[in-house]
Structure formats: C-alpha cells, structure tokens
Amino acid sequence: MPEPSTNQIREALKFSQFRFKLIEFLKLPLDIGEPALREVLERISPNVYRNYLARSERVDEILKSEDTLEMRAPAFG
C-alpha cells in the first residue's frame, strides 16, 4: 500500500474536525460512538449522512494504509 500523501492526511484531519463540529452542532455527547452518530445523522439528514459515510470511508482507507506502513516499519529499541 502506498504511503498516504499530504493531501490524504489533510483530508483525514479535516474529517475529524467535520465530525467534531457535527457533534457540537447537534449538541450530542462528545464521547458518542460511531454507530450512534451515524444513526442520528441518518434520521436528521440523509444527505449529510451520505456525505459523512463517503468521507468516513475515504479516511478509513487512509488510516489503513498508514497502519500497514507502521506494521512494516522496523522496531527500534
């Protein structure tokens, strides 16, 4: 798997900010779980829910590639 690009890392950070702002805006508990958040979004706005899912899937792929790189890195110490 290729190393995440700067743009991909930036996208992951922006998604994290987007998720936090949604939680704040909807006045949900900050520790809300992912399934509960998705359920709320689906009920409130199918369009926001679809956007959230698409962005979430892209970020999951970025994080998977990052995890793969970390697993292949030699251990020091």
Question: Which pTM was predicted?
Answer: 0.73
User: What are the CA-CA distances from residue 76 to residues 3, 18, 50, 68, 73 (Å)?
Assistant: 20, 35, 42, 17, 9
Closest CA to 9 of 58, 48, 49: 58
Q: What is the pLDDT of residues 5-62, one digit of tens each?
A: 888 889 999 999 999 999 999 999 999 999 999 999 999 999 999 999 999 999 998 8
